[in-house]
Structure 1
Amino acid sequence: MTKKRFLPRLSSNLLLLIIPAILIAITAISLVTFNYSRNIIIDSLDEQMELQLSSTVNQIDKILIKERALAESVARSVGNMYEDFEEEDFERLLIDSTELYPETVGMGIWFAPNTYKNMAQFAPYAMVNENGKVIASKDYTEGDFDIHTSEWYIVGTEGDGGWTNSYLDTVSSIPMVTISVPMYREDSSILGTVTVDVDISAVKEMIAETELDFDAQAFVIDTAGIYLAAEDESKIMTMNFNEDSNKDLSNKITDILTSRENGYDNYTSDGKDYRLYYNYVPQTDWLMGINVPVANINASLNGLIQIFSIVAIVALLIVSMLIYLYSKKLGDTAMHSSLLANDISEGILYSNPLTEKDLNKNDELGEIARSLQSMQENLKKTITEIALHSQDVVSVGKRLTSTADDSATSANEIAIAIENIAGGATSQAIDTQSATENVENINHFVDENFEILIELLRSTNNIENTKDEGFEVLKELIELINLTTLINGQVNAAIEETYQKSKEIEEASRMVESISEQTNLLALNASIEAARAGEAGKGFAVVAQQIKKLAEQSKGFNEVIKKVIKELKETSTNSVEVMSETKLMLDQQGKIVEDTMSKFDNIAEAIVKNKEVVEKLQKSSNNIKDKNEELVGVVQNLSAIAEENSATTEEVAAIAQEQFRSSAEVSEASGNLSKIAVNLQEQVENFKLEKFEKE
């Protein structure tokens, strides 16, 4: 009978397994989405801020560029025509130029000392008065203010000029900056400067009108660090950024001013993160920055996170409901299969809680149900057959035990007899092995003797080869001695001929010496005659003097020739003696070589005899080796037969022992088999094949 018991529902298990996984996936997706969205917003912010910075900086720079161009245009006009201008012309030029742009609040022409009509200070100036009208002023020309020491004059006379620091006009309280450019004469000498005063209130207005997201704040700082524009208007033209209460921002601006590069950077102040974008105005190197709180960037993502969370929760509820409904549908079949498996495990084989609906399903659970039912039927058949045959196994086990005991007794007697035979075979194998080793030692000695004979024959052949090489060397030596003797004779003849030639040269040298003495005497007589001739003989005296020098040089050369001839004769004499001695040595060498040839012939005969003896010994050794190898083969065959007999006997003994052990094991196994068969009968009785059996 099937016992019902409580089992956890499949739907509950699936929900407990899947819901945490879905929650983890939703959390991971939320984090990835948050970071991705944040990166997109930051990238968009970077592009927006860089574009806003670039646009505003370009607007500021455009104003400054046109004001500089105005100053340079007036400077060129004045430089070309100042000598033709009267004071009224300068004033008219300045008024017309000042009216061109709304940011222009004043212009001045500042001549160098004594350059215009020898005036120490001439500075026509035009400005916008409180009524917005441009008027001319002579205050700087007639006043006591020294324009040549002013900042704008010094800046304008250096290189291409430049911009002054920003300042607050004392009369109008308007923030200004002045561009000052040089004026040149036609010869490129400095004439003075032209200045344009620019109202930079427009910078403050541009910053105020700039629309920035995330509560960002923009500011502009001049090269001296003064705020030209800021969210807090009280800082404008009155505070240096180093005096700002936000020291973290001040330090970051200091780092930026040191690097002199455009870009953005992050910093932290009072535990809050900020992103600072910055760019420089090319004309004046003013720094424009936009400060964005990072917390405001993240706050813009809160709405997105809330929407995503709501969608995720709704999706989670829908998925959970679908999982519950599907798992409930699967749970009934799983429960029926579990009950059947539990009955089988308890030995109840007659009950079957599975329904037709369970068995007809085409999914995995249906397959499990059908498999369990098939396993139940097969198990019933198997248990029935085991019960029928277990009694036969008990009877056969008893008979097998009796037969195994008899076989063990016989095997033990056979093993004892074989051990005695194996002892004799082992002794014979040992003696045969000893004989084999002795024969192998003899064979080893024969091999060594054969190797020695081969080496001796090889040495004999080497000696014979060396003898042949010696014969060739002696032949070459004889040829060289004969050639040397021939050359020695030729050299001796050449030396004799040289000696004769040196005698002829010596005779010629005596003639040259005689001629030189006569020439010298003639030169002396010529000198005496030239002296007698007086003035007319001066030219002849010079010739006589040159002849005398030539004679002396000839005498000197002749002495050198005589010395060389003497040395040549001595060398020739020595060479003749050396050649004579060389000829005697060559003759002696020839005799020695002939004696050596005779000894080599004797050595050759001895080598031939030695070679014949070695070849005979080698043949004899070969015969001994062949006979010994035949003997080794016979002994080795005998040893192998003895070892094989011994091994076969040991194998037979081992087989007999193994048979004895096997018989004992069979006897023991048959006894165990009988016990197992009895135990199996008891276990089969635990299975209930019919419903009427006792539970």
Structure 2
Amino acid sequence: MRKIKSLGVRISIYIILITSVLMLIFGVSIGSYFKKQVIALKTDKLQTIAEDVTVEVNDYFQDYLQLLTPFTYNPMFSEMLSESSSHEALSNHPNYEAIIGTMNELQKNEDVVMAAWFYDIDADILLNHQGQAPAKGYKASERLWYGPIMKEGKDVALTPPYVDTFTGEYIVSLAKPIKVNNQIVGITGMNIKIDTIIDIAKSIQVGETGYLTILTADDTVFYHENAEYILQPISEIGVDANLLNLVQSNIKGITEYTNSSDVLYGALDICELNGWKVIASLPSSEFLREVNLMINVIIVGLVTILVVTGIAIFLCVQKQMQALKLLGTYCMQLAKGDFTFTIADQLCVRVDELGMLANNFMTMKSNVSTLINQVNESGVEVNQSSQELLENLTQMARVAEDLAGGVANIAEGATTQAHQIQSGLEKTNLLADNIQHNIANINSLDESTQAVDTAVTDGQHILNELIQNTGFIQEATSQVQSSIESINTYSHKIEEMNETIGTIAHQTNLLALNAAIEAARAGEAGSGFAVVASQIKKLAEQSAASSQEINQVVSDIQSLIVSAVEQVQTCSNTVMDQVKHVDHTRGQYNTIKSSVLTTQNNLGDLEQTAKVMNENKDEMLRLLTALSQIAEEYAASTEESSANVEEQSATIENLTEECRKLATLSDELLASLTQFKL
């Protein structure tokens, strides 16, 4: 026996698998979405840090450049530089002391300012806030601030950091040109400490493990958490091409890069004032920490939901499967032909699909039970009808035998009548010869009269026999007509019973079709009933086929009956005509006899009578000839009727055999229905 697998377990597994796949897709989609959102937020935050540092660096230098503005637009300063062409001339200029004093005040008030200075282009001399000149060999043209102003024509020069020779500290130089009539006459500037920028960089916290890198305009490292990288080109501190390409592009942005073996995310921003660059770096582990945490939370949540959903689905499916198992038990009983069970109320009162299935199953059971009862009743009726039909056909066979005997007698009488009519025709011809002879031999009238009298007597005797035979024929024709009408009545009864059989077969076929449809709806559970429905349908089709054959036979019989009725009617009309002609002939014979007597009594009238007889002779011959032909045709018709009766008898025998088959089929149908328990 085939092992039955639990449908509920399989359905649960399928649903859980589908749910798992959907949740996996949902989790991946949500994880990807949140990852993108968190990365975007982290990126914006990292970029904001770089921008904030850039703003502070830019503001820091901008503040000290603003301190140089009064010198740049001071007329005393521009006047002194334009009028002096040597160190001595500068020292002796009326504005010299005031300018040196202002610079000295500036240097004293600003701790960051290491020195304030100005450069006279004509004198090619640089003096600080104390009026001191640099050591010999100092060339202003070699200073980093000289080129941007004198060669590039910039309004601001900010040098890269360098080490102060006196203090050993990192400083930068700020410089601005002094112009008279758009001509540069000198440059003023200051050297400032950059410790504040370093302090700014150190004060900025980039995440928990991130750091800042500040580059000068030429991509030299100004600040880094690793002191070994300071004042080294960024290309030599171990970063990969991703960050180098971003730095060299001079476009702010963010990229993922590696430094030694560390993977980091770096956000770049550029200082507009001097082109310095700030890089805010954050290790990828910290950068994606929240993303990974969120993904883990999503995974745990999805797994929890999946487990809870799986348990709920399994319990729900198991509950539904209990109802399905109960329906399966009913289907097994139905397949065995047991219709005595009752469907549980707990199934019928359900409002879901299983409740609909249970109610439909109950309806199908009721319909099938009703169908089987109807088929059983119809089978009994068919059996009874077939027995009655068989009895009627047996009676029809006997009637047909009697009819065949009557038709044979009619045929024999018709043959005899034909011979007698032929004999009368011959005698009439002889009478005509005698009339001619009487006319030719008027003198032998007495002898001829005696001969005519004898002939008339013989003719009357023949006519009496003919009248007697005609009566027999007329009586036989009436019997044949009565038998044919009886056969016609029985054929109509057969046709009515056959219509009843056809109706029963059609209803049985419809019931079998409905049963097959209900069995198909029940699926495998209704396969047993489907076989029964198929057998019922075959029996119904056989009954319908037999009914059609019976109907065809009855139709043939009715056609033959109609033909026989027409022929019998024709024969009856012919006999009536024959009776009329015989009566007429008898009257003629009486006339002849009277004429003979008259001839004997009145020879004077003999010639006139002979003429009349001669005139009537041809008509008598014509009538006798026609009567002979009618008798021959009547004999042929009786032979044809005999053949039709024989054919009808054979048809009745075939119909009787079909009725026996129908009775056998109905018995088999009733026997098949006994296997159902209702």
Q: Report the TM range for the smaller structure's normalisation.
A: 0.5 to 0.7
AA in 1 matched with 2:24: T
Please say if residues 265 and 287 of structure 2, whose CA atoms lie closer than 8 Å, have aligned partners that are also in contact: no
Q: Deviations over 1:413-463 (max 9, x none)?
A: xxxxxxxxxxxxxxxxxxxxxxxxxxxxxxxxxxxxxxxxxxxxxxxxxxx
In 2, Cα distance between the equivalents of 1:677 and 1:199? 124
1:86, distance to aligned residue in structure 2 (A):
6.3
Q: Kindly indicate whether residue 96 of structure 2 is the aligned counterpart of residue 105 of structure 1.
A: no
1:97-246 aligned within 5 A: 97-114=106-123, 121-126=124-129, 136=130, 138-140=132-134, 143-158=136-151, 159=153, 160-185=155-180, 187-213=181-207, 215-237=209-231, 239-246=232-239
1:585-596 aligned within 5 A: none
CA RMSD of superposed structures (Å):
4.0
1:87, distance to aligned residue in structure 2 (A):
5.4
In 1, Cα distance between the equivalents of 2:140 and 2:104? 20
**Among candidates 369, 373, 377, match of residue 384 of structure 1:** 373
Q: Deviations over 1:211-259 (max 9, x none)?
A: 112743321211222101123221112x111223223245324xx433x
AA in 2 matched with 1:257: Q
Superposition TM-score, scaled by structure 1 size: 0.52
In 2, Cα distance between the equivalents of 1:204 and 1:38? 34
1:334, distance to aligned residue in structure 2 (A):
2.6
Cα–Cα, structure 1 residues 307 and 85, in superposed 2: closer, same or farther, change >3 Å?
same
In 1, Cα distance between the equivalents of 2:324 and 2:162? 90
SS at match of 1:252: helix
In 2, Cα distance between the equivalents of 1:295 and 1:391? 92
1:64, distance to aligned residue in structure 2 (A):
1.2
1:407, distance to aligned residue in structure 2 (A):
5.2
1:109, distance to aligned residue in structure 2 (A):
1.3
In 1, Cα distance between the equivalents of 2:658 and 2:162? 118
Cα–Cα, structure 1 residues 411 and 217, in superposed 2: closer, same or farther, change >3 Å?
farther
Q: Deviations over 1:399-420 (max 9, x none)?
A: 75355257579999xxxxxxxx
Flag structure 2 segments of 5+ consecutive residues without an equivalent. 84-92, 387-497, 499-542, 561-650
| Paired position in structure 1 for 2:398 | none
1:429-440 aligned within 5 A: none
SS at match of 1:124: strand
Cα–Cα, structure 1 residues 379 and 357, in superposed 2: closer, same or farther, change >3 Å?
same
Cα–Cα, structure 1 residues 320 and 249, in superposed 2: closer, same or farther, change >3 Å?
closer
Cα–Cα, structure 1 residues 48 and 173, in superposed 2: closer, same or farther, change >3 Å?
same
| Paired position in structure 1 for 2:16 | 19
Q: Kindly indicate whether residue 245 of structure 2 is the aligned counterpart of residue 252 of structure 1.
A: yes
1:340, distance to aligned residue in structure 2 (A):
0.6
| Paired position in structure 1 for 2:51 | 54
Please say if residues 240 and 257 of structure 2, whose CA atoms lie closer than 8 Å, have aligned partners that are also in contact: no
Task: Kindly name which structure, 1 or 2, has the bigger radius of gyration based on alpha carbons.
Answer: 2
1:94, distance to aligned residue in structure 2 (A):
2.1
Q: Kindly indicate whether residue 675 of structure 2 is the aligned counterpart of residue 686 of structure 1.
A: yes
Q: Deviations over 1:552-580 (max 9, x none)?
A: xxxxxxxxxxxxxxxxxxxxxxxxxxxxx
Please say if residues 118 and 189 of structure 2, whose CA atoms lie closer than 8 Å, have aligned partners that are also in contact: yes
SS at match of 1:138: coil
In 2, Cα distance between the equivalents of 1:363 and 1:61? 75
Cα–Cα, structure 1 residues 322 and 265, in superposed 2: closer, same or farther, change >3 Å?
closer
Q: Deviations over 1:95-130 (max 9, x none)?
A: 21123434322221111234xxxxxx542214xxxx
In 2, Cα distance between the equivalents of 1:26 and 1:224? 53
| Paired position in structure 1 for 2:269 | 279
AA in 2 matched with 1:401: E
Cα–Cα, structure 1 residues 273 and 245, in superposed 2: closer, same or farther, change >3 Å?
closer
SS at match of 2:64: helix
Q: Kindly indicate whether residue 261 of structure 2 is the aligned counterpart of residue 304 of structure 1.
A: no
**Among candidates 361, 382, 401, match of residue 549 of structure 2:** 401
| Paired position in structure 2 for 1:79 | 77
| Paired position in structure 1 for 2:65 | 68
1:28, distance to aligned residue in structure 2 (A):
2.5
Q: Deviations over 1:634-662 (max 9, x none)?
A: xxxxxxxxxxxxxxxxxxxxxxxxxxxxx
Cα–Cα, structure 1 residues 162 and 29, in superposed 2: closer, same or farther, change >3 Å?
same
| Paired position in structure 2 for 1:334 | 324
In 2, Cα distance between the equivalents of 1:111 and 1:399? 138
In 2, Cα distance between the equivalents of 1:15 and 1:39? 35
Cα–Cα, structure 1 residues 155 and 16, in superposed 2: closer, same or farther, change >3 Å?
closer
1:54, distance to aligned residue in structure 2 (A):
2.0
1:284, distance to aligned residue in structure 2 (A):
0.6
1:575-654 aligned within 5 A: none
Cα–Cα, structure 1 residues 177 and 201, in superposed 2: closer, same or farther, change >3 Å?
same
SS at match of 2:273: coil
In 2, Cα distance between the equivalents of 1:678 and 1:169? 130
